[in-house]
Structure 1
Amino acid sequence: MMQNALSVDVEDWFQVGAFERTIRRADWDSLPHRVEGNTHAVLDLFDAAGVKATFFTLGWVAQRYPALMRRIADAGHEVASHGYDHARVFTFTPEQFRADLRKARAILEDAGGQAVTGYRAPSFSIDPRTPWAHMILAEEGYRYSSSVAPIRHDHYGWPDSPRFAWKPVQDSPLVELPVTTAKWGKRILAAGGGGFFRLLPYGFSRWAIRQVNEQAGRPAIIYFHPWEIDPDQPRVADAPLRSKLRHYSNLSVMADKLRRLTRDFTWTRVDALADAEAARAS
């Protein structure tokens, strides 16, 4: 079976884009932290399934939970960067983006004890507003980025991006590995995981991954967050209704859906796909 890539965006329940206008960053340390326990639960699930994955982790999380980073690395998973504190790339100047990359990477490498060569932008926020972002990633020595969602969405998206791996910087080994989409006629559908995986019937994700594997002959890249397996997390009462519906729906079924996903397909780390793309290009 084709190897697909499974990835985890390691952030806590209060750090998501849906709540960024409701919960202040200044209040993060005063809120109940659940990311450590939830990520350990994800690691246990992966251990039971024999799955290796990539953990795109906020530097903010790694700074507070270095032992968690060591467990991820010691278990054979990849520790990769999700930036420092979930600020979207298009909110930075190029100089600020470079500083954020360096800050997060230093923390992640110190905590995890392995080189960090992969990056995922918070909320898939590399898009036409950030024409400099891939060049800076290349200059900083990253091997790959998985920061583009080639869809139309109210929170993110770069619909004109290629659906599969592409080289964003000439004469650089950097490869962009977009999260998975499926085709329905002429429409491109989001199928990369996260809320789409949690909210839609499991059969949709199974169909989409099979379509990508069998019809396009390409691996899928799927992601989710540790908070998505935590139905007991705190509720944000004053968040917008749409945000609450997206964030809290189907939390209780997510772990079982993930177990089914690990049984139905073969999984590897995202850096393994980057290596395969490099071999394909050579």
Structure 2
Amino acid sequence: MPSDQPLHAMSIDVEDYFHVAALSGVIKPEQWPTLPSRVEQNTRKLLDLFERHQVKATFFVLGWVAEHYPELVREIDRAGHEIASHGYSHQLIYRQSPETFLQETRRSKALLEDLTGKAVQGYRAASYSITKDSLWALDILAECGFRWDSSIFPVRHDNYGIPGSPRAPYTIRTENGALLQEFPLTTARVLGLPVPAAGGGYFRQFPYPLFRYLFNNASGNGHRPQMFYLHPWEVDPEQPRFNNASWFSRFRHYTNLDKCEQRLEQLLKDFRFSTVSESFRAYSPERQTLSTRQILGIA
């Protein structure tokens, strides 16, 4: 690949198949310990893939996973990848109280720091659930000592998104005056409209040539770093199936699981990737600083 390509951010949201929002209607948190876990084997599959391609990534680890599989967190850290927080219980932030969110965020951060002996500086919300209704969470992230976030998706979606928010990395000035770096999820512009091109279900559902085009389009044809994300369960076509979920949830969750690993191999050949922090550092243009009102488009 051309060495003058931007250094994109490769990120993995470390959660199990039973944690996802698409299946929350049929799987309750109290059932999680009773279900066969596959997060260790799937995460190790990704670790092996990154080692083959000499890529470092940021792993946003769910606190529940860290608590139940601490050696997995240590293994990710020993391999030289960046550890960041994915919260504790994978609940949508806008359905939590600020008090509960603060408690869970502190708990998850402390777990990860105890396991690695390193400060955890980055955060990603479950299902990108920092929206116009939960911007208060940014002050809590700053209070907990996070320096950057990657939770804001500049699209319109039924579960997440702040339409019209910036597409390139920027600095947020929170309501309490704290500064937090934001690396939004990738969107391309097609006919003037934002099209998600960040990974996950979009990566699996779009034909790979289309996704590659959109990802390159989002980067300004190779000028701006972008954010890619995936979950370990997305490279696991053998995971248990929950046929009592709605057809739409099954479509979102199970489509093209058997093709995802091969597509990821190709993506790693087509673009340059590293951790979120390295991608931040490599992005030289001065980032604009916006208040939460400005993120929402309010002057």
TM-score by length of 2: 0.90
- Equivalent in the alignment of 1:164: 168
Alignment RMSD, CA only?
1.7
Q: Distance in 2 between matches of 1:142 and 1:274?
A: 15
Cα distance in 2 for residues equivalent to 1:113 and 1:264: 34
- Give the distance between the partners of 1:247 and 1:100, measured in 2 at CA: 26
Q: Which residue of 1 aligns with 2:251?
A: 245
Aligned to 2:140: 136
Correspondence for 2:293: none
Distance 2:12 2:236 in 1: 14
For 1:267, the equivalent position in structure 2 comes to: 273
Q: Of 204, 208, 214, which aligns to 2:210?
A: 204
- CA apart distance, 1:131: 2.6
Deviations 1:32-87 (A, max 9, x none): 00001100101001101111000011000011111111111111101100000101
Q: Which runs of 5+ in 2 are unaligned?
A: 289-299
1:276 to partner: Cα distance: 4.5
2:172–2:179 Cα contact (<8 Å) kept: no
Task: Specify the SS of the correspondent of 1:36.
Answer: helix
Q: Describe how 1:93-242 pairs up with structure 2 within 5 A.
A: 93-169=97-173, 172-215=178-221, 217-242=223-248
Match in the other structure for 2:38: 34
Partner secondary structure for residue 73 of structure 1: helix
SS of the residue corresponding to residue 182 of structure 1 reads strand
Letter in 1 for 2:73: M
Whether the 8 Å contact between 2:7 and 2:282 is mirrored in structure 1 is no
Contact 1:119 1:144 (8 Å CA) reproduced: yes
Instruction: Report % sequence identity.
Output: 45
CA distance in 1, matches of 2:214, 2:225: 11
The structure 1 residue matched to 2:83, chosen from 79, 82, 102, is 79
Divergent runs of 4+, >4 A: 276-279
TM superposition score normalised by structure 1: 0.95
Report the AA paired with residue 195 of structure 2.
L
After TM superposition, give the deviation of residue 281 of structure 1 in Å.
4.8
Q: Distance in 2 between matches of 1:175 and 1:242?
A: 34
- For 2:220 and 2:153, locate their aligned partners in 1 and report how far apart those are by CA, in whole Å: 21
CA distance in 2, matches of 1:113, 1:258: 30
Which range is displaced more, 160-169 or 14-23?
160-169
CA distance in structure 2 between the aligned counterparts of 1:223 and 1:28, rounded to whole angstroms: 23
**1:6 and 2:1 matched:** no
Cross-structure match for 2:61: 57
Cα offset for 1:208? 1.8
Q: State the distance in 1 between where 2:264 and 2:173 align.
A: 34
Which shifted more, 157-166 or 50-59? Answer: 157-166
Per-residue CA deviation, residues 106-154 of structure 1 (Å, 9 max, x unaligned), is 1111223321100000000001001311111112211100001110112
**Is the 8 Å Cα contact of residues 144 and 274 (structure 1) preserved in structure 2?**
no
2:50 aligned residue (46, 51, 54): 46
Give the stretch that moved more between structures: 133-142 or 97-106.
Answer: 133-142
Unmatched tracts of structure 1, length 5 or more: none
Identify the residue that residue 263 of structure 2 maps to in structure 1: 257
Contact 1:135 1:169 in 2 (8 A): no
Structure 1 counterpart SS, 2:84: strand
Moved more, 214-223 or 226-235: 214-223
AA partner of residue 43 (structure 1): L
